[in-house]
């Protein structure tokens, strides 16, 4: 009797199991995308990417780093370039042994003073390192410096009196604190200059090679523009001396014969402020 009832109870389960497929929609499996990576987190979960802790980003940002020689030299160069407001790249080199220290990536390097207080090939710098608002060290180090700037070079031999133009010049990146001190940066305006001395090919152009172009010559008749207090006057005058662009020359009024200083504007005109 017990066997009969047991069989009677199992029959619906077997029937349901055997025919359950007709109640389910077909399962479609999409092809795996090229380059996709799956990580099995458990027997019941498949994730396309590993799940990271929620605070991992903050942890990575605060993870300590080692302030070794390279890191400190790079930050010193940036700080000195900002201190002296110079263009180009300033590279600093510690001349003594540096003992590495640990800090967060958000550390700050503050320069207290330099001796001499200018960009020179060698200097003595006092600085401190701060991390998260706390000073973690004070230092006083002798440092060698290099200041790399794009400067003008001559493409070919240039004679005295040559008016400079990009066609006869090239540019190079050099250290202007050493043998290239006094070189003319490549972003300089040269329209008002000429060569005051000859220059060999492939030579750096230096400021002492240049002289300003004389725009107004002694005895030349020029247009005089006078303005101020709502008054604007033009007249003719005679230059009593040579003048370069932006320079001050003495002018004689052709009518009144009075003399007055004026600023050179171009080859034919000067300006007076009343």
Same domain, 205 and 232: no
Last residue in a domain, options 105, 131, 147:
147
* Residue 25 is assigned to a structural domain of this protein: no
3-state helix, strand, coil in the chain (%, to 5): 20, 45, 40
* Residue 17 is assigned to a structural domain of this protein: no
- How far is the C-alpha of 239 from the C-alpha of 267, rounded, in Å? 11
Full pLDDT tens readout for the chain, 274 residues: 454 444 444 444 444 444 444 444 554 545 555 555 554 444 443 434 455 555 555 555 568 899 999 999 999 999 999 999 999 999 999 999 999 999 999 999 999 999 999 999 999 999 999 999 999 999 999 999 999 999 999 999 999 988 888 888 999 999 999 888 899 999 888 878 889 889 999 999 999 999 888 888 999 999 999 888 778 888 899 999 999 888 899 999 888 888 999 999 888 899 988 7
* Residue 40 is assigned to a structural domain of this protein: no
CA 57 to chain CA centroid, Å, is 28
Enclosing domain of residue 123 = 65-147
Which CATH number belongs to the domain containing residue 188 in this structure? 3.90.1210.10
For 119, residues 6+ apart whose C-beta sits below 8 A from its C-beta are: 80, 84, 86, 90, 145, 147, 177
């Amino acid at each position: 009797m017990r066997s009969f009832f047991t069989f009677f109870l199992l029959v619906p389960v077997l029937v349901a199991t055997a025919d359950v497929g007709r109640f389910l929609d077909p399962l479609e499996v999409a092809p795996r995308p090229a380059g996709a990576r799956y990580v099995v987190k458990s027997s019941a979960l498949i994730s396309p990417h590993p799940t990271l802790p929620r605070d991992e980003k903050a942890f990575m940002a605060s993870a300590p780093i080692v302030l070794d020689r390279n890191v400190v030299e790079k930050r010193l160069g940036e700080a000195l370039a900002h201190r002296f407001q110079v263009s180009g790249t300033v590279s600093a080199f510690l001349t003594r042994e540096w003992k590495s220290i640990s800090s967060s990536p958000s550390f700050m390097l503050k320069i207290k003073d330099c001796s001499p207080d200018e960009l020179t090939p060698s200097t003595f710098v006092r600085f401190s390192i701060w991390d998260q608002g706390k000073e973690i060290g004070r230092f006083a180090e002798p440092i060698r410096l290099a200041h790399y700037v794009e400067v003008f070079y001559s493409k070919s031999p240039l004679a005295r009196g040559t008016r400079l133009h990009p066609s006869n010049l090239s540019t190079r990146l050099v250290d202007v604190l050493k043998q290239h001190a006094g070189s003319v940066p490549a972003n300089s305006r040269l329209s008002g200059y000429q060569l005051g001395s000859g220059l060999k090919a492939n030579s750096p152009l230096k400021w002492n090679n240049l002289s300003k172009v004389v725009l107004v010559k002694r005895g030349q008749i020029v247009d005089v523009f006078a303005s101020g207090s709502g008054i604007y006057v033009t007249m003719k005058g005679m230059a009593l001396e040579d003048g370069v662009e932006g320079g001050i020359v003495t002018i004689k009024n052709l009518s009144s014969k009075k003399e007055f200083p004026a600023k050179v504007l171009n080859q034919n005109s000067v300006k007076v402020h009343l």
